[in-house]
Amino acid sequence: MKISSRIRNTSFILLGILVLVLKQNYTGPFSDLVYNYGSNFSVSFAIYFIGLLGFNSYSHPRLFAAGGALLAVQLFELTNGFGVMENVYDPWDYLANALGIALALGIDLIINQISTRKSADTNGNNERLEK
């Protein structure tokens, strides 16, 4: 994994944590949704990028990161915080968890596609310059 990928993933992890910490102060539109499901969404988002850091040596790191994150957050809900943390059960939390991971995966795929395109353009320009 390149250093820039680690920095990017760590930045998204910190963004998820920031949303988790600041959600209590949100007073804009849909504040009830943010208050009730923002934690699930932001933590799931961050856990996907944590998974990417851990599964980067696998052949399909995004699949393992998304699957592992989904398994972890859904088990957290199902076991009421793994019996360690206090968790208020709400069936909509499962959807918020999945949406947080889906957004993280979507952002990751878009950034990867842009990066791949830029790399291909750079390589194509270098080849033309060499000829």
The domains of the chain are located at 3-130
Distances (CA, A) of 92 to 32, 37, 80: 13, 8, 14
pLDDT more than 90, % of the chain: 67
Helix (H, G, I), strand (E, B) or coil at 122: helix
Helices 31-54 and 92-130, packing angle to 10 deg:
50
Q: How far apart are CA 56 and CA 111, in angstroms?
A: 16
DSSP assignment of 21-46 equals HHGGG--STTHHHHHHHHHHHHHHHH
pTM score, whole prediction: 0.85
Contact 104, 44 (CB under 8 A): yes
Tell me what pLDDT residue 126 has.
56
pLDDT in tens, 28-70: 999 999 999 999 999 999 999 999 999 888 899 999 999 999 9
